[in-house]
Chain A
Amino acid sequence: MIKVLIGFVVGVAVIALSIWQMAPSLMFTERVSPFGMDETVARIQHNIQNTGNGWALSGLRNPAKAVQTDGGNVLPVMMIEACSTKYSKPILKDDTLRFLSILMPCKISIYKKNDGKVYIGTMNAGLIGKMFGPMVGETMGHVAEDQKKFLQFDPNTPAPKMILPAAPAAAGASGGSGGGC
């Protein structure tokens, strides 16, 4: 009996450790972009605008700029913010779920690493949504589907122009265009 109990505890511990190890890669995804920083940002922005379902750009942040202002250097990072009222509205209407506004707006991060390549980082909206009940799970599932469309690139189309925020704010902040949420 003791052997079974020890085996069970060890099994639980191994699974917990595995989840601990795998969780970051499950909750967030990273892929290499075939384009440079500016073009990657521009293509994703235009994909977001063309996806429909109420999606609109709500900001473009440059956290590296704030570091520069303080006298330091980091490799470029640009964060595209987008939101869809179609998906945000039901969550924001429910008092028990309003805390999930912390996940809004949806962010896609484009950054360069020391290998010189440009990467795209996204949150796994589908998986995270499932943790908060069926309604959020279903909504975030739709978000995840749309996210895939944001990252579909057609290299045969010419590079579009980057969309800069209409009303810039302080360094490192968004110039929120008022779109989305």
Chain B
Amino acid sequence: MSLGNILRTLALMALALAPCAGRATPAPAPAAATAAPAMAPVQSAPVLATKAGTNSTADHSKFEALKKSFASGPEVTKACLTCHTEAAKQVQKTKHWTWEFMNPDTKQRLGKKHVINNFCTAVPSNYEFCTACHVGYGWKDEKFDFAAQENVDCLVCHDTTGTYRKLPGLAGHPPYKDTEFPPHSGKIVKAPDLGEVARNIGKSSRATCGACHFFGGGGDAVKHGDIDSSLKNPGKYLDVHMAKEGLNFTCGTCHATSGHDVPGSRYAPTATDEKAGAHMRGKKDVNAATCQACHGTRPHPAAMTKLNDHTDKLACQTCHIPEFARGGIATKMSWDWSTAGKLGPDGKPIKIKDSAGRDAYDSKKGDFKYEANVIPEYIWFNGKVNYTLRETKLDPSKIIRINSFEGSANDGKSKVWPIKIFRGKQPFDKVSNTLLIPHTFGNDDSSYWSNFDWNKALEAGQKAAGGEFSGQYGFVSTEMSWPITHMVAPKGDALTCQQCHGVNGRLDKVPGLYMPGRDANPWLDKIGWGIALLTLLGVLGHGSVRILMARKRG
């Protein structure tokens, strides 16, 4: 038995014992400290832990092309391509590779390569750091060769060993030698055995997708709120679909790929699934990753007609994800870049922790706020999203919406959706009134994390992005919205009628809703009561006449 197999067997035993261990976990469960600036180590989901547990027709450890050691990621990819001849070409057409998306409705050029957010702000000038989550090798500047097939990283999505890890600062490469990370932390990240990883590849898993998506925005649970590492092996309470003791869905069960293209998009979300019903995998005209793709548009039992009547105006998520960040990990709710740069008495960067031990202040990044079990905000949403791009002129006296979700009660295309709104303050150019890109990461003199000089950092960031900087900067308040669609609770934990229909209900701030039980039309009320009163009088009158007549007859 190889060392790898022994380790996997031990991992399985640990997983088998996990439920017992879970019962004995400490009572207090404060939202844990979550700073994890690096892509997390990939760990295999239980179902994929051994070849015996898969339905694969190929045992990659028997492939001659993989029976050797590899010095780099691209070398592994070349070996993969000897059999999977079309794989890299397929990947290179996807957003995971291009980090580009042209929105057909708004005609805005989006994707990580182009947008600016209110977390780490933007990729240009920070490539080596950000591309730890690119599905490729070597994107360290704007000269990256997007056509080179060997630059595609197969292992990041297909590793099952849990040993493959990419670190920020290596331009998408894994460490090829044992590396101290974070720098000066004393923690050593082992270099993965690329040959061993390649010989044990399998389907993507919650762990492989989560290695990037759980850590979006610079740490665990930072960005989305409904996607964090608690979904790696979630309990039923957290997600009925992904529960390891239940349906045990992987991400790919819903986001079923076709030719490496993963359905589902934050840039052009499917707000209303008109073509709902049994979804034919592989068909490109519909999004396979909607609730309706499996559950249809009348998902409740026929006896619950009234609930089914709600589905034309409410997204499933509105009732069935009552709160997000429910897995015990608090999500970041705000990021204030304007306070960054305060140094300790020794002139070195400082960190201040909050009550739960999370970074509440970091000299490099500013102030943060976190929250667990967050009650979503609710909006009308029809699937159209407009972005404030680098070139968009803004009014700094107002709160700038990084992305605006369109929708209304009357357009016939919108549903009420739960969202997370991430609030922040970030740099803008006082002369051009546009958002600015800071150069944050790097050992050069212009990176903010090296010199804490906004002028140098903004000038370098703008230059790398092909923009201009007047030399005058300020900080503007921004909001960025994220649709909530994961962490689906058991049906017993869906919102109750009273939680919306009662006074101070969940949907109070959603305009254009007439909510029986909460709202009242005074005239309608008067007419109703009038009819009730007349009915009562009629009954009493009729009864009285009958009694009188009966007495008269003797």
Contacts and interface: CB of A to CB of B under 8 A. Distances in A.
Interface of A: 36-39, 41-43, 60-62, 64-65, 67-73, 75-76, 78, 112, 114-116, 158-162, 164-165, 168-175
Interface stretch (B102-110, B273-281, B371-379, B415-423): B371-379
A68 B235 contact: yes
A74 B269 CA distance: 29
B336 interface: no
8 contacts: A38-B30, A64-B29, A68-B237, A68-B238, A71-B237, A168-B27, A171-B24, A175-B28
Nearest to B499: A114
Top 6 closest pairs, chain A to chain B, by CB: A168-B26, A42-B355, A71-B236, A38-B356, A38-B355, A73-B493
B356 A162 contact: yes
B27 A73 contact: no
A42 B493 CA distance: 29
Given A71-B490, A72-B493, A162 B23 contact: no
A67 B237 contact: yes
A62 B30 CA distance: 9
A173 to B, nearest CB: 5
A116 B493 CA distance: 17
A165 B26 CA distance: 8
A112 B325 CA distance: 14
B27 A72 contact: no
Contacts of A39: 354-355
Nearest to B493: A73
Contact of B25 (A36, A38, A161, A171): A171
Contacts of B28: 60-62, 65, 78, 162, 164-165, 168, 175
Contacts of A159: 354-355, 360
Given A73-B326, A75-B323, A158-B352, A175 B27 contact: yes
Interface in B314-348: 322-323, 326, 330
Given A159-B354, A165-B26, A165-B28, A72 B375 contact: no
Interface in B375-389: 375
Contacts of A172: 27
B341 to A, nearest CB: 19
- Interface core residue of A38, A43, A158 (most chain B CB under 10 Å): A38
Given A42-B355, A159-B360, A73 B323 contact: yes
Contacts of A73: 237, 322-323, 326, 489-490, 493
Nearest to A68: B237
B438 to A, nearest CB: 27
Interface of B: 22-31, 235-238, 322-323, 326, 330, 352-357, 360, 369-375, 489-490, 492-493, 499, 504, 506
B454 to A, nearest CB: 25
Contact of B355 (A62, A68, A161): A161
Given A60-B27, A165-B28, A174-B27, A72 B237 contact: yes
Given A115-B504, A171-B23, A65 B29 contact: yes
B218 to A, nearest CB: 20
Given A36-B371, A42-B355, A65 B27 contact: yes
A173 B374 CA distance: 24
Nearest to B487: A73
A43 B326 CA distance: 23
Nearest to A112: B373
Contacts of B25: 65, 168, 171
B225 to A, nearest CB: 14
Contacts of A162: 28, 30, 355-357
A38 B27 CA distance: 14
Contacts of A175: 26-28
A62 B27 contact: yes
Contacts of B236: 71
B355 A160 contact: yes
A175 B506 CA distance: 35
B330, B372, B373, B489 pick with most chain A CB within 10 angstroms: B373
Contacts of A69: 22-23, 235
Interface centre among A68, A159, A173 (most CB of B within 10 A): A68
A84 to B, nearest CB: 22
Given A68-B238, A71-B237, A72-B237, 5 more contacts: A71-B236, A162-B30, A162-B356, A171-B24, A172-B27
Nearest to A168: B26
Contacts of A78: 28
A69 B23 CA distance: 7
A116 B375 contact: yes
Interface centre among B27, B30, B236, B323 (most CB of A within 10 A): B27
Nearest to B25: A171
B357 A62 contact: no
B278 to A, nearest CB: 29
Contacts of B374: 116
Contacts of B237: 67-68, 70-73
B488 to A, nearest CB: 11
A95 B28 CA distance: 34
Contacts of B352: 158
A158 B373 CA distance: 23
